């Protein structure tokens, strides 16, 4: 029995056109090796093509979304040392230097004037060590939560990149296959149209057969324009990720049969998604940070206690003087060590307002966490169903393709003996082409759903990309 890939790309499809045109068969063979597997022509052409792993590795370097996530992660790492600074000593040096010009007049008889110029300079060194600042302690705890959350955010961006790259890669392959399939169908219908015209000329067929074939041909020409536009869009989507138009993409050349997920039961996947999905973990971190924020705002009522010390020295130099003002110089020093206690008594209700605000934000974070859990559950359920149904769909379409081929052969024979019309043959020919497309599409959908299922469970990583590449390329 033929494999799924052989059904899509098998040479039996070259028997579709009515007639025995060698050119038509050749075109069909080229088109069909583009699906999931390959004949020797397809393998030789893809020898220098990029595979899924190569495209993904380039996306790791070039994708702007992931690059922004890395920068955000790096920026978040600085939250911890900044918050820790609020618990460590601080030391400040301030200095000043001035040139003073002093002048005074006494309205006596006679008038008495004083005038003196002299420099002044001084510096102060101040140090403080927090002994009890509850708000600063909570800020430090929040910073550690934010750093842990940043790991989840970056990992989520990497998982999203895997899915985006795979979708873009497979969309390009599917669009290329559709173009080649359309070209093959166009060649087949073109030959059918030519034969209908010949039969009409010799009187063995009616003008209806020619009109039917012409209508089908015109429809395919219009479809060809649409599918080429789809390819351009698919290439643009991949370029948006890696920053350039891709080279030839490697097509899969291994007989790969879709398998059910492991474990093959929904509940384990849902349970794991609710606990370990990265968006759930991010939302949980947001709730933890919001809970700490409530405590931080409440700490606005708490006293603070600091150990403080300072040393200052000031100097004033003598200068030129009048008769009543002598020249002088001073040198002043002061040092102190002690504790500083502050107790907020009333701040206009600002602290209570910020507490209420923080509580509301905490409630919002709690609801967001519940929303993330439900979204993870939905993603796990839909992806699991996509994988399980994908296995069944591939098998069903494989059988449908065999049935469509048999039906086509029967209609072609019926046309020869006069019990089927040319339109019947054209319609069944279209059915075979459409079934081949549906089979290729269901195969790619199975792979994407497999990746999304692991993403829902929080386990998707680079190894999964490499595994898919190995499974599909041998």
Residue range 407-427, pLDDT digits in tens: 888 888 887 777 776 677 777
pLDDT at 114: 75
Say whether both 142 and 106 belong to one domain: no
Compute CA 232 distance to the chain's CA centroid, rounded to the nearest angstrom.
Answer: 22
pLDDT of amino acid 140: 97
Average pLDDT over residues 358-367: 98
Given a cut of 80, whether residue 320 has pLDDT beyond it is no
Q: What pLDDT is attached to residue 282? A: 98
Instruction: Between 383 and 331, name the one with better pLDDT.
Output: 383
Beta bridge partners of 340: 306
Do 274 and 144 reside in the same domain of the chain?
A: yes
Same domain, 321 and 367: no
Nearest in space to 140 (alpha carbons), one of 296, 281, 286: 296
Please give the pLDDT value at position 2.
46
> Residue 25's pLDDT is what?
35
pLDDT at 18 over 90: no
- Residue 381, C-beta contacts closer than 8 angstroms, at least 6 positions apart: 266, 270
Written as six digits, the tokens of 303 are 């006293």
Tokens of 60: 């790791």
CATH of the domain at 466: 1.20.1600.10
378 and 276 in a common domain:
yes
Domain C-terminal end among 312, 342, 372: 342
21-35, 325-339, 348-362: segment of lowest average pLDDT: 21-35
- Does one domain contain both 407 and 369? yes
Report d(CA 287, CA 292) in Å as an integer.
9
pLDDT at position 38 is 43
Among 205-209, 212-216, 345-349, 406-410, whose mean pLDDT is lowest?
205-209
- Which tops the pLDDT comparison, 88 or 214? 88
Q: Which span out of 17-26, 95-104, 179-188, 357-366 was modeled with the highest average pLDDT?
A: 357-366
pLDDT band at 319, cuts 50/70/90? low
Question: Does residue 164 sit in the same domain as residue 200?
Answer: yes
Whether residue 191 sits in one domain with residue 149: yes
Are both 326 and 219 inside the same structural domain? Answer: no
Banded model confidence at residue 328, pLDDT cuts 50, 70, 90: low
pLDDT category, 14, cuts 50, 70, 90?
Answer: very low
- For the chain, give the percent of residues with pLDDT over 70: 86
Q: What residue numbers bound the domain in which 376 lies?
A: 4-81+135-295+350-473
pTM of the model: 0.80
45, pLDDT greater than 60:
no
Q: What is the pLDDT of residues 140-197, one digit of tens each?
A: 999 999 999 999 999 999 999 999 999 999 999 999 988 988 888 888 777 777 777 8
Select from 96, 83, 171 the least CA-distant residue to 130. Answer: 83
Higher pLDDT, 151 or 221: 151
Determine the pLDDT at residue 109.
72
Q: How many CA atoms lie within 13 A of 395 on its CB side?
A: 9
61 with 74, same domain? yes
325 and 457 in a single domain? The answer is no
Residue with tokens 């290329």: 176
pLDDT higher than 80, residue 442: yes
Do residues 141 and 165 share a domain?
A: yes
Report how far Cα 335 is from the mean position of its chain's Cα atoms. 59
- pLDDT average, residue stretch 31-35: 39
User: Which pLDDT does position 255 carry in this prediction?
Assistant: 64
Share of the chain above pLDDT 90, in %: 55
Mean pLDDT, range 458-469, rounded to an integer: 93
pLDDT band, very low/low/confident/very high, at 13 (cuts 50, 70, 90) = very low
Per the omega criterion (within 30 degrees of 0), is the bond before 110 cis? yes
Please check whether residue 443 is in contact with residue 37, taking contact to mean a CB–CB distance below 8 angstroms. no
The contacts of residue 472 (CB under 8 Å, 6+ apart) are: 36, 52, 252, 253, 254, 256
> Does residue 22 carry a pLDDT above 50?
no
Neighbour count for residue 335 (Cβ, 10 Å): 10
Q: Which two tokens stand for residue 51?
A: 């595979």
Write out pLDDT tens, residues 232-269. Answer: 999 999 999 999 998 888 887 656 688 899 999 999 99
Q: Which two tokens mark 229?
A: 């536009």
- 335 and 357 both lie in a single domain: no
pLDDT tens-place string over residues 93-130 = 999 999 888 787 887 777 777 777 888 899 999 999 99
The yes-or-no verdict on residue 24 having pLDDT over 50 is: no
What was the pLDDT predicted at 217?
Answer: 82
What's the pLDDT at 318?
66
The mean per-residue pLDDT over the stretch 27-37 comes to: 38
Q: How many CB atoms lie within 10 A of CB 74?
A: 11
Number of domains the chain contains:
2
Q: Give the mean pLDDT of the chain.
A: 84
> How many other C-beta atoms are found inside a 10 Å radius of the C-beta of residue 215?
14
């Amino acid at each position: 029995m033929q494999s799924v890939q052989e059904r899509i790309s098998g040479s039996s499809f070259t028997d579709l056109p009515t007639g025995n045109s060698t050119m038509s068969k050749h075109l069909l063979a080229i088109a069909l090796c583009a699906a999931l597997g390959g004949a020797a022509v397809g393998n030789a052409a893809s020898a220098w093509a990029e595979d899924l792993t190569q495209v993904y590795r380039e996306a790791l370097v070039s994708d702007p979304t992931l690059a922004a996530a890395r920068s955000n992660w790096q920026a978040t790492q600085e939250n911890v040392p900044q918050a820790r600074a609020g618990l460590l000593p601080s030391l400040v040096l301030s200095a000043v230097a001035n040139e003073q010009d002093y002048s005074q007049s006494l309205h006596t008889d006679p008038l008495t004037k004083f005038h003196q110029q002299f420099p002044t300079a001084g510096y102060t060194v101040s140090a403080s060590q927090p002994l009890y600042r509850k708000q600063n302690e909570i800020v430090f705890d929040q910073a550690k939560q934010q750093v842990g959350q940043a790991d989840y955010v970056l990992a989520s961006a990497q998982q999203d990149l895997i899915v985006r790259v795979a979708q873009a890669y497979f969309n390009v392959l599917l669009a290329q296959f559709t173009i080649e399939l359309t070209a093959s169908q166009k060649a087949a219908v073109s030959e059918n149209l030519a034969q209908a015209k010949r039969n009409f000329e010799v009187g063995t067929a009616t003008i209806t057969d020619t009109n039917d074939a012409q209508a089908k041909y015109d429809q395919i020409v219009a479809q060809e324009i649409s599918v080429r536009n789809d390819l351009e869009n698919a290439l643009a989507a991949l370029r948006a990720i890696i920053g350039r138009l891709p080279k030839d993409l490697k097509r899969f050349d291994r007989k790969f049969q879709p398998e059910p997920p492991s474990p093959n039961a929904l509940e384990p996947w849902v349970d794991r998604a609710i606990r370990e999905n990265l968006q759930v973990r991010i939302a949980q971190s947001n709730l933890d940070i919001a809970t700490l924020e409530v405590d931080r705002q409440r700490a606005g009522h708490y006293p603070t206690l600091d150990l403080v010390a300072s040393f200052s020295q000031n100097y004033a130099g003598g200068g030129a003087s009048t008769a009543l003002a002598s020249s002088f110089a001073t040198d002043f020093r002061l040092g102190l060590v002690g504790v500083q206690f502050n107790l907020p008594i009333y701040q206009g209700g600002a602290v209570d307002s910020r507490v209420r605000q923080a509580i509301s934000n905490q409630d919002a974070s709690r609801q967001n966490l519940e929303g993330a859990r439900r979204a993870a559950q939905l993603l796990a359920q839909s992806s699991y169903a996509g994988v399980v149904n994908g296995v069944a769909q591939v098998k069903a379409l494989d059988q449908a393709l065999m049935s469509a081929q048999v039906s086509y052969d029967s209609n072609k024979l019926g046309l020869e003996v006069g019990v089927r019309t040319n339109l019947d043959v054209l319609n069944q020919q279209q059915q075979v082409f459409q079934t081949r497309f549906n089979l290729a599409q269901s195969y790619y959908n199975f792979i994407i759903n497999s990746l999304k299922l692991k993403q829902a469970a929080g386990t998707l990583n680079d190894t999964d990309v490499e595994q898919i590449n190995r499974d599909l390329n041998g």
